A and B are shown apart, each in its own frame.
Chain A
Amino acid sequence: MSCAIWDERVALFAGGDLETDEAAAVERHLIRCAACSALAAELRSGLDGLREAHAEPLAAEHYAAVRGRVLAELATPPRQRVVWTWAGAAGLAVAAAAAWVVFGVMRPAAMPVPELPRLVAVAPKVERPAPRERGSNRPFKSRKRIGWQANAPAPLGKVGKVGQTLSSVNRRVEPILTAAVEDSPVRMVQLATADPNVVIYWLFEEKGEER
């Protein structure tokens, strides 16, 4: 009967799996303990037997059989893949046809095409204010009243009347427009849509010579 507390260390020692100092401790114990020494001898013998058994080669035909099966398997898939590819394509076609039938039948009436926006007003071209003279006490008037040419079928280049009263809706964009006008000769076009709640403001800047 070996010492239970040494068993696992002896097992590792037999396979050469202990660090030097641990192996030295086990060796010292084995000198004193006949049971553990016998255990170590049995374990070593068993490990030698395992290695010898494992070293005996299998018959070549066993290896060849595996190789043959693998190569045969590799030779087979392309055909299967083609079959599966066609099957997949056919499945997709069926699914697409079903979707067309289902959603085609259930599709609501075609959405009405909205009317194109209609030009309703053109803001005048605003000139930059003259720079304030040095020493002048007159306050600088930065805000300019934006005029509109309502329902203007005229070309965009035509300037509307300055000072024309803005509608209540237009008043909300006036500060923004004014700020833009102060920095650059911006012009604005108001476009109405079929939906009375949607009004389009087109801000643009003219550059170059006026036509």
Chain B
Amino acid sequence: MKTLALAAVEAGDEPEGRDSTLEAARAGDRAAFDLLMRRHERLVLGTAYRLAGNLEDAQDASQEVFLRLYRNLAKLDTGNLAAWLYRVTVNVCHDARRRRPSTVPVDDAAELAAAGGDPQQRADEAERKALLLRSLRMLSEKERAAVVLRDMEGLSTADVAGVLGSSVGTVRSQISKARLKMRDFVERYSRRRL
């Protein structure tokens, strides 16, 4: 069953079950495929960026996702395209991290603290957001994927479970632990700055 969150992602001007852009892309129309990429690029690059942690790796991952999309156009079910893209994006990012482990230290609160500047003076909104995004790196791959899909992309817990191939219970556990870890990271960072 498709939940509202994913249905909203896939909703377009086309009647349900029919996507002329996808059909044209399947027929080999490169312009249609370009349009298809534009339609889903925020989903793919945005998710990959949060999972990978840097733009360069995110772009590499997005390129791979769209190439896989092109190769699998004939087999894809139109109604599940967004879920398919999320799943492939997560998998590609995981594969990339396995091949090339992140060079950013896991516990880099100290690094942040030493980065310069008084956090009380630089505690503006941008800094706070940057800190929160940085806290994503404290998470395991599965926790990060769960948080990115649930808390940033806004998928339901059931949709996240479907994308990650986990149970809803597992996803809830990952999400709760991840939120607490991130909050602890932010708190530790703030304490060290004082």
Is A54 a contact of B37 with CB atoms below 8 Å?
A: no
Q: Which residues of A contact B133 (CB under 8 A)?
A: 50, 53
CA distance A70 to B177 in the complex (A): 37
Q: Is the CB of A103 closer than 8 A to any CB of chain B?
A: no
CA distance A62 to B62 in the complex (A): 11
CA distance A7 to B70 in the complex (A): 44
Q: CB-defined interface of B67-92 with A at 8 Å, one 1/0 digit per residue? A: 10010000000000000000000000
The number of residues on chain A lying at the interface, defined by a beta carbon within 8 Å of a beta carbon of chain B, is: 32
Is B132 a contact of A46 with CB atoms below 8 Å?
A: yes
> Min CB distance, A25 to chain B, in Å?
15
Assuming the contacts A11-B175, A15-B175, A54-B152, asked whether A39 and B183 have C-beta atoms less than 8 A apart, the reply is: yes
How many A-B contacts at CB < 8 Å in the complex? Answer: 105
CA distance A11 to B80 in the complex (A): 30
Q: Is the CB of A52 closer than 8 A to any CB of chain B?
A: yes
Assuming the contacts A11-B175, A12-B172, A54-B46, asked whether A66 and B67 have C-beta atoms less than 8 A apart, the reply is: no
Q: List the B residue with the shortest CB-CB distance to A60.
A: B41
Assuming the contacts A54-B152, A58-B45, A67-B41, asked whether A73 and B180 have C-beta atoms less than 8 A apart, the reply is: no
> Min CB distance, B168 to chain A, in Å?
10
CA distance A70 to B150 in the complex (A): 28
Q: Is the interface of B mostly helix, strand, loop or mixed?
A: helix
Q: List the A residue with the shortest CB-CB distance to B70.
A: A74
Q: Is the interface of A mostly helix, strand, loop or mixed?
A: helix
Within 8 A of A (CB), among B143-169: 147, 150-154, 157
Q: List the B residue with the shortest CB-CB distance to A74.
A: B70
CA distance A53 to B133 in the complex (A): 8
> Min CB distance, B76 to chain A, in Å?
16
Is B63 a contact of A15 with CB atoms below 8 Å?
A: no
Is A51 a contact of B183 with CB atoms below 8 Å?
A: no
Q: Which residues of A contact B175 (CB under 8 A)?
A: 11-12, 15, 17
Assuming the contacts A50-B151, A65-B59, asked whether A15 and B37 have C-beta atoms less than 8 A apart, the reply is: no
Within 8 A of A (CB), among B91-138: 128-130, 132-133, 135
Is A70 a contact of B183 with CB atoms below 8 Å?
A: no
Assuming the contacts A62-B55, A67-B37, asked whether A8 and B129 have C-beta atoms less than 8 A apart, the reply is: no
Partner of B151, one of A15, A42, A67: A15
Q: Is the CB of A79 closer than 8 A to any CB of chain B?
A: no
Partner of B59, one of A14, A42, A66: A66
Is A70 a contact of B176 with CB atoms below 8 Å?
A: no
Q: Which residues of B contact A166 (CB under 8 A)?
A: none
Q: Which of B42, B46, B132, B187 gathers the greatest number of chain A CB atoms within 10 Å?
A: B132
Q: Is the CB of A180 closer than 8 A to any CB of chain B?
A: no
Is A63 a contact of B45 with CB atoms below 8 Å?
A: yes
Q: Which residues of B contact A11 (CB under 8 A)?
A: 175-177, 179-180, 183
- Rank and list the top 6 A-B pairs by shortest CB-CB distance, nearest first: A53-B129, A54-B152, A11-B176, A8-B176, A11-B179, A70-B66
Task: Contacts A9-B176, A58-B55 known; list 16 others, CB within 8 Å.
Answer: A8-B173, A11-B179, A15-B151, A46-B182, A50-B151, A51-B151, A51-B154, A52-B129, A54-B153, A58-B45, A66-B63, A67-B41, A70-B63, A71-B33, A73-B63, A74-B30
